Amino acid sequence: MQLKNYLHTVLVLLALFLAGIFLSQCTSPFNQIDYNTEVKPILNKNCISCHGGVKQSNGFSLLSEETALAKTDSGQPAIIPGNASESEFIRRLSLEDQEERMPLDSPPLSKHEIKILKKWVNQGAKWGLHWSYQTIKDNEGNLQLGSTSTVINNNSKDGKIDQFVAKKLKEISLQPNDQASKSELLRRVSLDLIGMPASTELQEQFLSGRINYEGLVDKLLVSPAFGEKWAALWLDIARYADTKGFEKDGIRNIWRYRDYVINAFNKDKPYDKFLIEQLAGDMLDSPTEEQLIATGFHRNTPTNDEGGTDNEEYRVKAVIDRVSTTWEGIMGTTMACVQCHGHPYDPFPHDNFYKSFAFFNNSRDADTSMDYPNLQFLDSLNQSKLDELKTWIASVDSQEKASELEYFVKTKQPVIYSIEVDKMINADLYDTKYLGFRKNGSARLPGLDLGMGSVLLMKTQTFIESGKLSFRLDSLNGAEFASIDLKDTKRRYELLEIPFGNLEGIRDVYMYYTNPKMKDSNSRGAQVDWFYFTEKFPGQDHTEFSEKRKLFDDLVLKNHENTLIMVENPDALRRKTHVFDRGNWLTLNEEVTSGVPEILTPLEKENATRLDFAYWIADEENPLTARTFVNRVWEQMFGRGIVLTVEDLGSQGQMPSHPDLLDYLAGKWMYEQEWSIKSLIRSIAVSETYRQSSKANSNSLEKDPYNIYLSRGPRVRLTAEQVRDQSLQISGLLSEKMHGPPVMPYQPEGIWKSPYSNDKWILSEGENRHRRAIYTMIKRTAVYPSFETFDMAQRQVCVSRRIRTNTPLQALVTLNDPAFLEASESLARRMLSDGGEKLEDQINYGYYLGMSKNIQAEKLEILVQLQRNTLNRLQEQSIEEDEINLLAMTTVANAIINLDEMLNN
Amino acid sequence: MKQDIHKLIAEHEFKQAELNTRRIFLRNAGLSLGSLALGSIFPACTSNSAKSSAEQLFTNLNPLSPKASHFAAKAKSVIYIHMAGAPSQFELFDLKPELNKLDGQECPPSLLDGKKFAFIRGVPKMLGSQAVFEKVGQSGALVSDNLPHFKKVVDEVSFIRGIHTDQFNHAPAQIMMHTGNPIIGRPSLGSWATYGLGSENQNLPGFVVLTSGGVNPDAGKQVWGSGFLPSVYQGVQCRSKGDPVLFLGNPECTSREMRKSAIDAINKVNSLTYDEFHDPETLSRISQYEMAFRMQTAVPEVMNINDEPEYIHEMYGTKAGEESFANNILLARKLVEKGVRFVQLYDWGWDSHGVGKSTALKIGFINKCRDTDKPVAALLLDLKQRGLLDETLVIWGGEFGRTPMQENRNGVEQVYTGRDHHPGAFTMWMAGGGIRKGGDYGETDEIGYDALDGGTSIHDLHATILNQLGFDHEKFTHEFQGRPFRLTDVSGSVIKEIIT
């Protein structure tokens, strides 16, 4: 017995000794215990599911210092700082009694873990702020906060990245790998920066030594293809798609937002500005068209047109999605769970979600089928009409009035949508979208602020001649204060103007429709799309009045090309925000005002707006914003983030592999590079770490199997977009046309099969068939098949990280998808015509176009054999001689497109 | 060629084993090398905690390889028949004499207060059953005349009545039914099943989707999406027209031999590439190309119903070359026979609002019943005669139920008879795969409006389905966004009453 105990002790000591050696970098039994790296992982793994943000069993929660040191249900605190032996928290860990011992129903903590916790309590149970919530400091003493000096396009490498990586590599006794060959590097950096192999000219310039590596990087960075590559990352976060997302999943016009993102990357728009424009561009002073288009970011939420949906429910869902996306996509924080309860692991109480919700709860969008509000783009004829109208209004009234009406023509805001009415009798929301009145029909506009204007404009159509609409205050039987006789608009919308007079206050307005000519009480007499409170149209006394008024009406009613934007509610239409009980939008708890989590940098402003929130997010003091994006850029270039879980830098996410490197890059990016994304990418691309060869040797494979320590260069499978773009590029088919409405390259029949939808996939003509992947139409419920197979995000919700898979269906795409066969044939033609006389040279040429190097003899021999085999087989079929050559070479070209080397960077 | 690759795989296995030994040692020494142990691409499924290195590698190379469940499974595979649009329980399985008495009367306000409907406005009229019912089988279950064939197999199934959901629009309700959450982005039932169990047949997709009725379900492809699981677990739609699996067919002039020589060439070059970079993903790619080649024959073979004997066609009511529900049902049988883990069928056109002939309970609905009744009954009989029913879980249902009131869209009486969406109480059935024969679980009130005793939630259904597949739904999780996610979220319990 004693011997057993003795042996046990020896083993434990031995284990502790070994552990001590391994942990010597972060733990030493004689030093201060670090809460973040040593204590918190133990608590999160073993305790927090019962004693955290969701459950607080026995009144004990380890979520924050405050709750952990508070009295529990027993009346005593479980943790007595400085006194482990008196702390119930420690006592419970090593009891014999299974009923009492913690963690309940789970294996006990290891001795080592208990020791750490004991020590921590004895040292005062000091709490630490999780690493990612700490403001990024000048950790190397070489960053000057707020410094204006920039290093953009500075050719010298700063070497810091490599120092951090080397330090870490030393821990596992590895050396950095050799530098990659020129061709390997050329291919890697081209795919990473522009999403496809560089043009043949650029390849030659680099390989011949006319430009050096830094020169190559700079040329790639200024290529317009750069933005087309990097936009994909952001469009996943923004859940950008060209359809609305449910049932018929109708097409939505929001491609200008996609082009905004491409341009922002190409123009190297500073990231802070990029964020502010997207989150609240509409609230900037006199926003530009570009800034309004940018707000499409949060209009990419799905809308539900399905018959019988509750529009408010889907408006709320969109707002919830905006909160989650903002936190996850921009700040690497999973806030989604806080919708229903306090965060289980991170210090975000339940109401924090709704404090964020309050920032987004006052935009004008409301799940309308037209996706209001939209920014209108007038063609030149209509634009000149609008200019003429503006000039006239300015002359008869004022410049302000002219601007106001111009804004209305451009945005049709702020209006009250017909879906906001209630108390309908003999009236209904037809197709759950438009307010339709039947004979003697009535409806209410609830809680209207009559101070918004003296005139009501109604976008209305009638289905039958005559009819009258009467307006009554406070009840259906209330006093009529206005009315209008309706004429037959022949089912076309017109703008009706109803003078409301000088009424004041917040009142209910009832509408009552009568029409003696209507016989059928089941059919619609009139239908309304929206209501707009304004003042009388200016220039009533001028001879041109009715002409100008008609011009205004025409411009408002016409369906111009448009894109979805955010517009903030005017004060009169502001919504209040409540905490939803367990996340249920129909059960409201206490009211909350906008705000940010206490744990983070304060937002010291009352009634802070969405714009204030945007400024707070894009501030250098925000600890999450820069770290999150730097980590994403790193992931794009190395296939794995410094924090693997790019979506979660919180305590349940992975710890950073190189925390100092992440903070260094983030600090430098904000303070030195002034949020320039190109500068950030450049710093990484020119580092020795990035330039390592990706060839693994047995030593590095053993010690660093997943390349976490960066002991070699990245080797990552191409994205769905890159697979397409590469094949188009090397085959010479690629169109360089940028921007514009989405295109429809080849897609098999029968992919679009949404109910109630007449939308068709119509093969694009001409060069639109061969545009880069980023311009392909994305239908949410039926993503372009080859993209889906190569793991593209579905774009329904924010996707931080695409999980790469390796499947037989991918092989079938690149072997048999007609889009890839066309590219193969085109590549084969290039090989035959430009590759030289000899078969070997032709095959080598095709390989070279993608790989920027000559093919190894052994591989060449295999492909030569393939060509010969194919040729022989084809000769057995009755095919014309000149076609046989092309077909055989097409088989080889297709094999090249399918090579593992070609599918990896 | 093949040997070379297997040699490489063996070598890699050996190295991996060495590595794992070291890793296990480190872990046992009380260290957490969290990210190291996480696996390169596929986060380890929590149902398989102790995996040998060779298994781990095989899983890395082939995420669809068969895996063990938590406990012995009753069902090896699943055929889930979803009637998209939500069939009316009142015209199929739920006879409510009280409701029939109320037929034509105005709906009492107690049923309307505080309720939301998709299309009913104002005060609708109550609507008695539009079908004739008969007591059938040994169980004496009441089944309507709309399902004459089903009557013959009724003793094979367990009914679940009083199922409720919180969604009353098609797309979100379908997403709820198949992912356990109305929010888009969660993995579907079939994805969870293949994620947990892999597939028995490596030449066919593990999770196959078949659709009929002319269009996809309202929720689109996301109801068979893999959500946050790797996309290798998403459903593969097999089609009756064109390639049965997208891009399966070789281009014109490319014979099978030519395809083989091309894939051999690609794989030979790739194995040389492996020698250079030692990237295990390259080995995986080699085996995926081999599998693609095998799929090219295996899929058309299983998708071809021409060779089925005449009596089978007779039994199912199938006609080769058609795009039909009956053909899909027969395919489902063939697929599970070949070891496919999860076959998901969607048949569109069950949204019986009565706004036109095709949605009228007395016209369109009866036609839908006629098209589907015979094949569904045939499936149960056929699985049984092949000894497959015991290990195949068959599920039938819609995304919600229908109101006991007649729909009055826009507050106006309609020409045809129909019912609105109703999330409060509806009926599904399950059969085979360890489900009790002749079972009948759950009850609704006398007009079929609400479930009694709390009813059955979607999570309960999912918990039961996972249970039959050998999983404890509370322990079957996937780590995502810093927390373990499960199909049943935070609730659900197995319906013990319907399992054996």
| The pLDDT of residue A629 | 98
Query: Where do the H-state alpha helices sit in A198-335?
Result: 200-207, 213-222, 225-237, 255-266, 271-280, 289-294, 311-325, 331
Interchain CB contact of B252 with A (< 8 Å): no
B342-348 and B207-212 as β-strands: parallel, antiparallel, unpaired? parallel
- CB contact at 8 A, B243 and A861: no
| The pLDDT of residue B19 | 46
Q: Tell me the two tokens of residue B154.
A: 């009724």
Q: What's the sign of the alpha-carbon dihedral B423, B427, B432, B438?
A: positive
Cβ pairs A/B, distance under 8 A: 288
| The pLDDT of residue B20 | 45
First to last CA, chain B: 49
Q: Which residue of chain B is at minimal alpha-carbon distance from A114?
A: B30
- CB contact at 8 A, B362 and B144: no
pLDDT band at A655 (very low <50, low <70, confident <90, very high): confident
pLDDT band at A700 (very low <50, low <70, confident <90, very high): confident
**Closest by Cα among B411, B432, B437 to B107:** B411
Q: Measured between CB atoms, which of B41, B241, B268 is closest to A804?
A: B41
| The pLDDT of residue A876 | 85
CB contact under 8 A, B19 and A306: no
| A443 pLDDT above the threshold of 90 | yes
How do residues A225-267 score in pLDDT, each as one tens digit?
999 999 999 999 999 999 999 889 999 999 999 999 999 999 9
Among the ranges given (A35-44, A352-361, A398-407, A484-493), the one the predictor scored with the smallest mean pLDDT: A35-44
Count of alpha carbons within 13 Å of B316, Cβ hemisphere only? 24
B456-457 and B157-164 as β-strands: parallel, antiparallel, unpaired? parallel
Interchain CB contact of A652 with B (< 8 Å): yes
CB contact under 8 A, B262 and A655: no
| The pLDDT of residue A18 | 47
Please give the backbone phi and psi of residue A162, each rounded to the nearest 5 degrees, phi first. -65, -35
| The pLDDT of residue A2 | 53
| The pLDDT of residue B322 | 85
pLDDT band at A385 (very low <50, low <70, confident <90, very high): very high
CA distance A114 to chain B (A): 12
The whole-number average pLDDT for the span A73-78 is: 88
CB contact under 8 A, A694 and B277: yes
CB contact under 8 A, B36 and A708: yes
Comparison of pLDDT for A20 and B400, the residue scoring more? B400
Q: Measured between CB atoms, which of B246, B269, B281 is closest to A717?
A: B281
| B40 pLDDT above the threshold of 80 | no
| The pLDDT of residue A150 | 36
Q: Which residue of chain B is at minimal alpha-carbon distance from A790?
A: B231
Give contacts of B19 with chain A, Cβ < 8 Å.
702, 705
| The pLDDT of residue A156 | 45
Interchain CB contact of A334 with B (< 8 Å): yes
Interchain CB contact of A872 with B (< 8 Å): no
How far apart, in whole angstroms, are the C-alpha atoms of residue B322 and residue B328?
10
Mean pLDDT of the residues in chain A: 90
pLDDT band at A456 (very low <50, low <70, confident <90, very high): very high
Buried b (16+ CB within 10 A) or exposed e, A369-406: bbbbbbbbbbeeebeebbeebbebbeebbeeebbeebb
**Closest by Cα among A595, A600, A598 to A132:** A600
Interchain CB contact of B172 with A (< 8 Å): yes
| The pLDDT of residue A903 | 97
Q: Please identify which residue in the block is written with the tokens 């249902």.
A: B397
How far apart, in whole angstroms, are the C-alpha atoms of residue B342 and residue B116?
35
| The pLDDT of residue A7 | 52
CA distance B495 to chain A (A): 25
| B11 pLDDT above the threshold of 70 | no
The whole-number average pLDDT for the span A592-609 is: 92
How far apart, in whole angstroms, are the C-alpha atoms of residue B206 and residue B291?
13
Enumerate residues 74 to 133 of chain B having a beta carbon within 8 A of any beta carbon in chain A: 116-119, 121-122
Interchain CB contact of B255 with A (< 8 Å): yes
pLDDT band at A61 (very low <50, low <70, confident <90, very high): confident
Q: Which residue of chain A is at minimal alpha-carbon distance from B35?
A: A654
Burial class (CB in 10 A: 0-12, 13-18, 19+), A267: exposed
Q: Tell me the two tokens of residue A806.
A: 């390796």
pLDDT band at A806 (very low <50, low <70, confident <90, very high): confident
How do residues B149-184 score in pLDDT, each as one tens digit?
999 999 999 999 999 999 989 999 999 999 999 877
| A57 pLDDT above the threshold of 90 | no
The whole-number average pLDDT for the span A804-812 is: 91
| The pLDDT of residue B440 | 96
Q: Tell me the two tokens of residue B225.
A: 């999406």
The whole-number average pLDDT for the span B342-359 is: 95
Please give the backbone phi and psi of residue A800, each rounded to the nearest 5 degrees, phi first. -85, -30
CB contact under 8 A, A113 and B30: yes
- CB contact at 8 A, A351 and A343: no
CA distance A504 to chain B (A): 32
| The pLDDT of residue A793 | 85
How do residues A526-579 score in pLDDT, each as one tens digit?
999 999 999 999 999 999 999 999 999 999 999 999 999 999 998 888 899 999
- CB contact at 8 A, A448 and A481: no
CA distance B377 to chain A (A): 27
| A128 pLDDT above the threshold of 90 | no
| B13 pLDDT above the threshold of 90 | no
**Ramachandran category for residue A854: left, alpha or beta (phi over 0 → left; psi -120 to 50 → alpha):** beta
The number of angstroms, rounded, from the C-alpha of A758 to the middle of its chain's C-alpha atoms is: 29
Q: Which residue of chain B is at minimal alpha-carbon distance from A649?
A: B482
Element of type H or E holding B178:
helix B170-179
**Ramachandran category for residue A777: left, alpha or beta (phi over 0 → left; psi -120 to 50 → alpha):** beta
| The pLDDT of residue A30 | 55
Q: Tell me the two tokens of residue A579.
A: 């905490």
CB atoms within 10 A of CB B291: 20
Mutate to test the interface with B, among A37, A707, A807 (most CBs of B within 10 A): A807
How far apart, in whole angstroms, are the C-alpha atoms of residue B210 and residue B238?
6
CB contact under 8 A, B15 and A701: yes
| A861 pLDDT above the threshold of 60 | yes
Q: Measured between CB atoms, which of B35, B249, B254 is closest to A708?
A: B35
One-letter amino acid identity for A158? Answer: D
Q: Please identify which residue in the block is written with the tokens 């064109």.
A: B242
CB contact under 8 A, B38 and A334: no
Enumerate residues 788 to 847 of chain A having a beta carbon within 8 A of any beta carbon in chain B: 788-789, 791, 794, 796-797, 803-813, 815-818, 821
Interchain CB contact of B381 with A (< 8 Å): no
Interchain CB contact of A49 with B (< 8 Å): no
Enumerate residues 260 to 289 of chain B having a beta carbon within 8 A of any beta carbon in chain A: 261-263, 265-266, 268-270, 272-274, 276-279, 281-282, 284-286, 288-289
One-letter amino acid identity for B401? Answer: G
CB contact under 8 A, A895 and B266: yes
Q: What single string gives the DSSP state of each residue in A544-555? A: THHHHHHHHHHH
**Closest by Cα among A303, A810, A368 to B285:** A810
**Closest by Cα among B393, B335, B297, B89 to B206:** B335
Q: What single string gives the DSSP state of each residue in A823-836? A: HHHHHHHHHHHHS-
| The pLDDT of residue B4 | 54
| B58 pLDDT above the threshold of 90 | no
The whole-number average pLDDT for the span A371-391 is: 96
CB contact under 8 A, A308 and B421: yes
**Closest by Cα among B164, B176, B245 to B207:** B245
Q: What single string gives the DSSP state of each residue in A605-656? A: -TT--HHHHHHHHTSTT-TTHHHHHHHHHHHHHHSS-SSS-TT--STTSPPP
CB contact under 8 A, A309 and B169: yes
Mutate to test the interface with B, among A440, A587, A754, A805 (most CBs of B within 10 A): A805
pLDDT band at B35 (very low <50, low <70, confident <90, very high): very low
| The pLDDT of residue B30 | 31
Compute the C-alpha angle A347/A352/A357, nearest 5°: 150
Cα→Cα distances A286→A291, A404, A454, B256, Å:
10, 12, 26, 65
CB contact under 8 A, B219 and A856: no
Give contacts of A789 with chain B, Cβ < 8 Å.
231, 246
| A344 pLDDT above the threshold of 80 | no
